[in-house]
Chains A and B, each alone.
Chain A
Amino acid sequence: NAGVMQNPRHLVRRRGQEARLRCSPMKGHSHVYWYRQLPEEGLKFMVYLQKENIIDESGMPKERFSAEFPKEGPSILRIQQVVRGDSAAYFCASSPPGHSRVLYEQYFGPGTRLTVT
Chain B
Amino acid sequence: GDSVTQMEGPVTLSEEAFLTINCTYTATGYPSLFWYVQYPGEGLQLLLKATKADDKGSNKGFEATYRKETTSFHLEKGSVQVSDSAVYFCALSYTGANSKLTFGKGITLSVRP
Is B43 in contact with A108, judged by CB distance below 8 angstroms? yes
Please tell me the number of chain B residues within 8 Å of chain A, measured between CB atoms. Answer: 26
Q: Do the beta carbons of A103 and B51 come within 8 Å of each other?
A: yes
B1-37 near A? 1/0 per residue, CB < 8 Å: 0001010000000000000000000000000100010
A110 to B101, CA, bound (A): 17
A4 to B44, CA, bound (A): 11
Q: Mark B39-66, 1 if CB is under 8 A from A, else 0.
A: 0011111100101000000000000000
Interface size of A by CB at 8 A reads 28
Q: Does B73 contact A (CB under 8 A)?
A: no
A1-12 interface bits toward B, Cβ cutoff 8 Å, 1 = contact, 0 = none:
000101000000
A102 to B36, CA, bound (A): 19
With A41-B105, A43-B89, A44-B103: A91-B44 Cβ-Cβ less than 8 Å: yes
A108 to B104, CA, bound (A): 17
**Residues of A near any B CB (own CB < 8 A):** 4, 6, 33, 35, 40-45, 48, 55-56, 59, 91, 93, 95, 100-106, 108-111
Given contacts A42-B89, A43-B101, A110-B42, 17 further A-B contacts (CB under 8 A): A4-B43, A35-B101, A35-B103, A42-B103, A42-B104, A42-B105, A43-B103, A45-B101, A100-B96, A102-B95, A103-B32, A104-B99, A105-B46, A105-B49, A106-B99, A106-B101, A110-B41
Please give me the 7 A-B residue pairs with the lowest Cβ-Cβ distance, nearest first.
Answer: A108-B43, A42-B103, A42-B105, A108-B44, A103-B95, A45-B100, A43-B103
